[in-house]
Chain A
Amino acid sequence: MTTEAGQTAQTVQALSPRRVTWLRRRDAAVRSWKSFARHRIGVAGLVVLVLFALMAVFAPLLANSNGLEVTKATGPVMGAPSSHYWLGTDESGRSVLTLLIWGSRVSLFVGLFATLISVVIGTLIGISSGHFGGRIGGLLFRLTEWFLVIPFLPLALVLASLLGASLVNIAFVIGITSWPGTALLIRSQTLSIEARPYMERARVLGAGNWHQMTRHVLPNVMPMVFANTTLTVAGAILAETTLSFLGLGDPTRVSWGTMLDSAFSNGAMSLGAWWYLIPPGVCVVLVVLSFTVVGQALEEIFNPRLRQR
């Protein structure tokens, strides 16, 4: 990589400005990756995430989807772990391990989709409220602050109940209720970038709002958005689990949250069915924890002020 960077310098005239920018960005990405690789806990989190992602993608190979259907369940009711059912069975005799593997799909999908919605809204509002001063910026900032004080869970519960339970709706509800934090962060980043001399230069040279925002602000805000996204996924997965636990999950799909909901409502606790209670929770904690530590590692890389910690 370094040799190519060297070549870049020599052949810089032969390349279009766009390519130079691209190469420079790639070099920056390589540097960021290298500093991330030095962050041991972050790397461990990434490994866990990759394992869970593989589990979600290859779920059909790992566990037969027939195992999800109540009618085709063959195991004992709330059976303890055995050589055949490694993690025991649920109230309908389905294998908890099978449910767990398939549940990872829903939890990860909802987490990522909700984050996408949240980050898109948050970034748009954050950049606009930071970039446009005056009334528009002020109004957007106010809006963000208002949304910030609405308690998340009650709003999400009401919305989910009104919209009806489906995966997309759940993701939408989480996305629409969790963007203000991102927006505030992006706004403050935008404000500090706006104050830099090259923005002044761009304005003097006649750059329009769109050009300023997409060419100057967005690329500089991107790293923080990226770090924040990772942390948002952690929150979104937690939110999905909580909404599902409270009975608002998609009834046709198994997620870790719905598993815990049925464990709770079918008396897994009084029956002593720890194999039904512990594994889904541990999976949630592992995935959320991994997203959190990866996000913190990224924050540290992109925000040197935190590096001394």
Chain B
Amino acid sequence: MTAAAEVGVEPLPDVPQQRARSSRRSTGLWFLVRKLFGAATSLLFMLVVNFFLFRVIPSDPVRTLARGRATTPKQVAALTKTLGLDQPLPVQFLTYLKNTATGQFGVSFQYRQSVGSLLIDRLWPTLALVGTSTILSILIGLWMGTLAAWYRGQMFDTISTTGTIVLYSMPEWWLGLILFFLFAVGFGPIPGVFPIGGLIDPGVNGSSVHGVLNMAWHLTLPVVTLTIAYLAEYALIMRSALLDEMGEDYLVTARAKGLRDVLVRRRHATRNALLPVVTLVALNLGFIVSGAITIETVFSIPGLGLLTTDALKIPDYPVLQGAFLVFSASVIVANLIAQLLYGWLDPRVRL
């Protein structure tokens, strides 16, 4: 720790004694309020970005927002009025806020359907894909990172650390392409057993047991890909967090108390190392969203990601705008949850 001070890694914020002594409940509440406020400002910032991206950057917002519809000058003028583009920017922004809050994201050029309902339709395959692989990759990644740290410098550590760094340098969709090629198409002696894309075979009822199994079968390869892609990062984070923790003096205290090594690890080191990992995992959520976009494209899974990349080809701006909003909002919400979780787990954070 002394080295840290010399090198200039920012120390943990010092805890003012007086504040820590005030009643626990009120500090917890204050922490919650602060975090909620932070998330709200982030959300607002993101709305501003989303607003400006689509209205200010394009030289012709009417065309951008209503492509393929407004062809005659009269139509353009009418659309300008409908979209409120003749209003001053602050008014436009307020209208935009109101529409967003009521779920009116406009109409997709491509599907001729309200963007709001389109997003809801496409949400759950993404949730199933990302949710499953996130949970799996966190479990496997943290387990691998823990083992690598405890057996640091030994064979498991060398192999897993090398493997994780290689995976970390690999675009996850390329891994998807390779796995697809090997196990869905089949190559040489390997038979292509997995379905070549889609979420469900045509003609199968999605709400029956058979349908659910069919979907699970379709999702297996994408989930495996994303799990492998994500776990690298978690393993690396966990390993280094645990190595940081392992130099700490309180572990010597725990050993001196007569705890078995297993208990020293589980009860003290691993638990404490998990705390910083929670935050880093949250910061990773942006990366996870990216994974969903590319992997859904590779495996043609009709989720938000495929919707986005399809919209890029048109380009279908109302859909892009809506999808961007959903992606950013989900990251902000997940981030908030992680911060609250961290505050709940680590008493030092609840200032």
Contact = CB atoms under 8 A, between A and B. Distances in A.
A277 B175 CA distance: 11
Contacts of A161: 312, 315, 320
Interface in B250-302: 283, 285-287, 289-290, 293-294, 297-298
Given A153-B289, A157-B308, A247-B309, A162 B57 contact: yes
B10 interface: yes
B53 interface: yes
A188 interface: yes
A138 interface: no
Contacts of B328: 149-151, 154-155
Interface string B1-13: 0011011111000
Interface stretch (A32-40, A110-118, A287-295): A287-295
B171 interface: yes
Nearest to B177: A277
B169 A285 contact: yes
Contacts of A272: 185, 187
B284 to A, nearest CB: 11
A146 B42 contact: yes
B3 A151 contact: no
Contacts of A148: 283
A260 B7 CA distance: 43
A246 B328 CA distance: 19
Interface in B69-83: none
A274 B148 CA distance: 34
A167 B79 CA distance: 33
A235 B88 CA distance: 39
A151 B313 contact: no
A263 B103 CA distance: 39
A155 B320 CA distance: 10
A189 B240 CA distance: 20
Contact of A281 (B168, B171, B240): B171
B55 to A, nearest CB: 11
B10 A264 contact: no
Interface string B221-247: 000000000000000000010010001
Interface string A113-157: 000000000000000000000000000001001101111111101
B320 A150 contact: no
A234 interface: yes
A274 to B, nearest CB: 7
Interface string A195-227: 000000000000000000000000000000000
A151 B196 contact: no
A158 B323 CA distance: 10
Contact of A246 (B166, B169, B293): B293
Nearest to B11: A192
Interface in B291-337: 293-294, 297-298, 308-309, 312-313, 315, 320-321, 323-324, 327-328, 331-332, 335
A285 B170 contact: yes
B217 interface: no
A168 to B, nearest CB: 16
B105 interface: no
B171 A145 contact: no
A245 interface: yes
Nearest to B168: A292
Nearest to A286: B169
Interface string A262-277: 0010000110101001
Interface residues of A, number: 50
B92 to A, nearest CB: 17
A192 B9 CA distance: 7
Contact of A192 (B8, B308, B331): B8
Contacts of B42: 145-146, 149
A159 B53 contact: yes
Contact of A274 (B64, B187, B293, B297): B187
Contacts of A87: none
Contacts of B243: 309
Contact of B171 (A188, A241, A305): A241
Nearest to A146: B45
B342 interface: no
A264 B177 contact: yes
Contacts of B185: 269-270, 272
Contacts of B178: 277-278, 281
A150 B171 contact: no
A29 interface: no
Contacts of A155: 49, 324, 328
Contacts of A145: 42
Interface string B44-62: 0110010001100110000
B9 A151 contact: no
B170 to A, nearest CB: 5
B181 interface: yes
A308 B312 CA distance: 47
A28 interface: no
B173 interface: yes
B111 interface: no
Nearest to B53: A158
Contacts of B54: 158, 162
B8 A281 contact: no
User: 5 closest Cβ contacts across the A-B interface?
Assistant: A192-B8, A153-B290, A188-B10, A151-B286, A288-B169
18 contacts: A146-B45, A149-B332, A151-B285, A152-B290, A157-B308, A162-B57, A192-B7, A247-B309, A248-B312, A260-B174, A272-B187, A274-B181, A285-B174, A289-B169, A292-B165, A303-B7, A304-B6, A305-B4
Given A158-B53, A162-B54, A192-B9, 4 more contacts: A146-B42, A149-B286, A149-B328, A281-B177
